[in-house]
Structures are given as structure tokens and as C-alpha cells.
Amino acid sequence: MPGSTPRRYKVSNRTRGTLLAESARLANNPLTRAVGLMFRKSLPPGGGLIIRPCNAVVCFFMRFPIDVIFVDEDGAVRYIIPAMRPWRVSRFVRGAKSVIELPAGAAAAAQTCDGDLLVVEEVG
């Protein structure tokens, strides 16, 4: 809708009772998924990007490292790449249906591990 504010999402680790992102945005169409975080100077603390559908990522044209969390359809963490550097390509993660990109160190700070259950909630 023209002039509308993009929706924001909170990403929580239900298993650990921790918060991964308080203001993530959603990339769920071909254009937003292709652009992702390219050309941005940084990703602020508490920020993030949820990419759906997705089972692999590329960090071409990125300027900063990010944590990449691969999640299955039930919200279970399948694989984590901590501090993925720019100009790298991830492997394909079998069973992953979405990816959550966060500032480097956010996954460890939230004690997130493979198998943890993540919850995404719209906050506005």
C-alpha cells in the first residue's frame, strides 16, 4: 500500500526465553528477497531480516558480517552461520523454509542453538 509503514516483527527463542530481534522486517517476494540487506551500511542492534522462502543465502554486495539462522516450517533452528562475512555463499540447508539474518553475535547473545524453537510475531 503506497505510503504505508513496513511491518515489523519480533523474533524470540522460545526454547531459551531470549529475544533475537525486536524490529525485523520481512522479505517474502522476489524483489525483497533478492535485495535483502545489500547496500546497507549496517544492521542495527535488535534489527533483522526474515527471508521466506529461503534455504540458502549469498552475501554479495554486503558491507558487514551477519548471523544467519536457517529455520524449518515449524520454527526449529536447522543450522546457524555465525558472523557470515560479505561476499560469501552459504550451503543449501535441507529442510529450511526461512532464514533470519541478524547482526553478528546476536544468535550467540540469545544462546540460540540448533534445534531451538523460534517464534516470529508481528509488532507493527
Residue-wise pLDDT for 31-52, tens only, equals 999 998 988 899 999 999 999 9
CA nearest to 54, candidates 9, 37, 64, 2: 37
Res 106 pLDDT > 50: yes
CA nearest to 121, candidates 17, 26, 27: 26
Res 2 pLDDT > 70: no
Per-chain mean pLDDT for the chain: 94
Res 6 pLDDT > 80: no
CATH classification of 9-122 is 3.90.950.10, yes or no? no
Q: What is the pTM of this model?
A: 0.93
Burial class from Cβ neighbours inside 10 Å (0-12, 13-18, 19+) for residue 116 reads buried
Q: How confident is the model at residue 109 (pLDDT cuts 50, 70, 90)?
A: very high
Residues 99, 54: contact at Cβ < 8 Å?
A: yes
What's the mean pLDDT in 78-82? 98
Burial class from Cβ neighbours inside 10 Å (0-12, 13-18, 19+) for residue 42 reads exposed
Give the domain ranges of the chain: 9-122
pLDDT at 26: 95
Residues 26, 3: contact at Cβ < 8 Å?
A: no
